[in-house]
Amino acid sequence: MKKHNFSAGPCILPQEVFAEASQAVLDFNNSGLSILEISHRSKDFVAVMEEARALALELLGLDNKGYTALFLQGGASLQFLMAAYNLLEHKGAYLDTGTWSSKAIKEAKKLGHVDVVASSKDKNYNYIPKNFSIPTDADFFHCTSNNTIFGTSIKEFAQTDIPVVCDMSSDIFSRQLDFSAFDLIYAGAQKNMGPAGATLVIVKDDILGKVSRDIPSMLDYKIHMSKDSMFNTPPVFAVYTSMLNLRWLKAKGGISAIEKENEDKASLIYSEIDINPLFEGFAAKEDRSFMNATFNLTDQSLKEKFDNMLKEGGINGLNGHRSVGGYRASMYNALPKQSVSVVVEIMDELERKA
């Protein structure tokens, strides 16, 4: 039986995408060859790469606006370093909203000065700091749009004239933003875009070329751009499957259409968390993420019972991250509302039985 998959990443993708991708593993484009055995330089794969890059920009509304989309490797974790390598000359300004932001800060510190403009570490990252100021003499401002582990997300992005870098790993393509307010966006594919192995990087061309250091080729955005994201062998299957998923999203009506579904799913679970006395939310209400809802039982003695009910209901991946505990419902684009309803019914049932 297919499970209801709330895994935080790698995560659920549309069933149609799984079906199409598995067909291509056997026979890609009726070529008599598997997607796994063709050259990345073949005409058919170059077309896949180009379509994936174009779809990413189109869905974000960034086509013909001076941006380039790249599919790289090394995960979002390599971007923590790579962004700093390409942009940090004198000082980077960072907003610390959780584990992933702190990791980005740690990598940037290896290359230069880091100014942490605000942090929510004092409350185990259960909120998004507001009203901080960003130094105008910093080379760039770095933030994390959605904090996958803590279940918070930035609703209003800070205004600044310096370049803005954003780790959107866990909410890219999930909600409408003015993406042109960002100069560098990166996202590990495995949260909301595709399988693990590819990282989407969207870079505004004119922010590059301003640092004096000699950048190693594999870490140099300009080199990847000049080679159309094929400087070396790209993660062929991950790019292909991401492309299928971006096609799926476009056919659904793009980000504005999926955003409504995501809001619907999120409000379904958050209203249950708020109404059911057996549960409490972790994140500050105004900062709640629509992708990852974090919550806990108010009475830990019910844990075993609740966990068993989840298991019987075919729920997968609802355990919270170890740094928060409790539960986390990751509700990425492909998760059907029906799956959220099943969890909510189980939460209800626990209340009735307790």
Ligand X SMILES: *Cc1c(COP(=O)(O)O)cnc(C)c1O
Contact characters 79-118, ligand X, x per CB under 6 A: ---------------------x------------------
- In this structure, how many other beta carbons lie within 10 angstroms of the beta carbon of residue 18? 16
Residue 265 within binding range of ligand X, rule CB under 6 A: no
Rg (CA), the chain: 21
Q: With binding defined as CB under 6 A, does residue 173 bind ligand X?
A: no
C-beta separation of 189 from 199 below 8 A: yes
To ligand X, the closest distance from the beta carbon of 112 in angstroms equals 21
Which residues touch 3 (CB under 8 Å, ≥6 apart)? 314, 315, 316
Among residues 107, 139, 167, 183, the one that binds ligand X under rule CB under 6 A: 167
- Which is closer to ligand X, CB of 191 or CB of 204? 191
**Residue 79 Cβ vs ligand X, minimum distance, rounded to whole Å:** 8
Distance CA 86, CA 216 (A): 10
Q: Which of 86, 126, 169, 262 binds ligand X (CB under 6 A)?
A: 169
Question: Catalytic amino acids?
Answer: 100, 167, 191
> Rounded to the nearest whole angstrom, what is the least distance from the CB of residue 239 to ligand X in the complex?
15
Region 136-165 residues binding ligand X, contact defined as CB under 6 A: 144, 148
Q: What does the alpha-carbon distance between residue 193 and residue 248 come to, in Å, rounded to a whole number? A: 11
Closest CA relative to residue 142, chosen from 82, 192, 188, 199: 82
Binding flag, residue 255, ligand X (CB under 6 A)? no
Applying CB under 6 A, does 129 fall inside the site for ligand X? no
Contact track, ligand X, 22-61, x by CB under 6 A: ----------------------------------------
10: cis peptide before it, omega within 30°?
A: yes
Q: Which residues pair with 67 in a beta bridge?
A: 204
Encoding tokens for residue 209? 């070329």
Q: Which residues in 178-237 contact ligand X (CB under 6 A)?
A: 188, 191
How many chain residues interact with ligand X (CB under 6 A)?
12
Query: Of 169 and 262, which CB lies nearer to ligand X in the complex structure?
Result: 169
**E strands of 20-148, at which residues?**
67-72, 91-96, 113-119, 140-144, 146-147
> Which residue, 38 or 172, has its beta carbon nearer to ligand X?
172
Considering the complex, state which of residue 38 and residue 236 has its C-beta at the smaller distance from ligand X: 236
Cα angle 267-320-278, degrees, rounded to a multiple of 5: 60
For the chain, the residue count is 354
Measured from the CB atom, is 5 or 24 closer to ligand X?
A: 5
| Bridge partner list, 316 | 5
d(CA 181, CA 159): 9
Distance CA 71, CA 278 (A): 44
Distance CA 255, CA 46 (A): 25
- Check binding of 76 to ligand X (CB under 6 A): yes
Q: Footprint of ligand X on residues 6-25 (CB under 6 A)?
A: 9
Binding residue for ligand X, selected from 11, 35, 75, 340, defined by CB under 6 A: 75
Compare residues 143 and 346 and give the one whose CB is closer to ligand X: 143
Site residues (vs ligand X, CB under 6 A): 9, 75-77, 100, 144, 148, 167, 169-170, 188, 191
